[in-house]
Chains A and B, each alone.
Chain A
């Protein structure tokens, strides 16, 4: 059973471009979480999604950021008009159910660098 997959692993964008980060959850998992980790800092919750639904996006910046988890295909975190402050590692995690703070399985992350 493959783990959580994220791609690309590294992404370089110039200021003003768009960044699209993909996450394929573990097989059988229908819950996806996105977290951001700034350099030398801890993990910050961004958004929690189930298939075709955003359950909690309280950690998402109000502008430029969006997320989706379609019925088919990976979850996508999209950052429009990137700025240098968006440079960070973005981690996706999946879980099989929403039993409270369920055991989440993390992907290897996408490291976004904005030049």
Chain B
């Protein structure tokens, strides 16, 4: 059964790099991979989006291997305010919009 999966949680310390991998083995051929950040009691907020290889913006990088069956969100030098839940979003080959289960990132001082 095709699934979009992420680690449930991840702890880190301020200033470290955090890498979160999402497995999406049934991703649609011609579709983007998008990552969102969600704080408690708020709607998800767009972080980054990519199709292949590497994408970088002012807050994160996204690494996508050639087979596109996974993607890794990289948050450089995290701070306490990066404590949140991070979700990947893909469209599967069956044309279904699917969020990963979310990764709860806790940044410690």
Contacts and interface: CB of A to CB of B under 8 A. Distances in A.
Interface in B13-46: 28, 30-34, 36, 41-46
Interface residues of B, number: 26
B59 interface: no
Report the interface size class on chain A. 20 to 34
Interface in A80-115: 91, 93, 99-109, 111
B87 A42 contact: yes
A100 B43 contact: no
Interface centre among A33, A43, A91, A109 (most CB of B within 10 A): A43
A111 B95 CA distance: 28
Contact of A101 (B42, B97, B102): B97
Contacts of B32: 99-102
Given A100-B32, A103-B49, A91 B101 contact: no
Interface of B: 28, 30-34, 36, 41-46, 49, 87, 89-91, 95-102
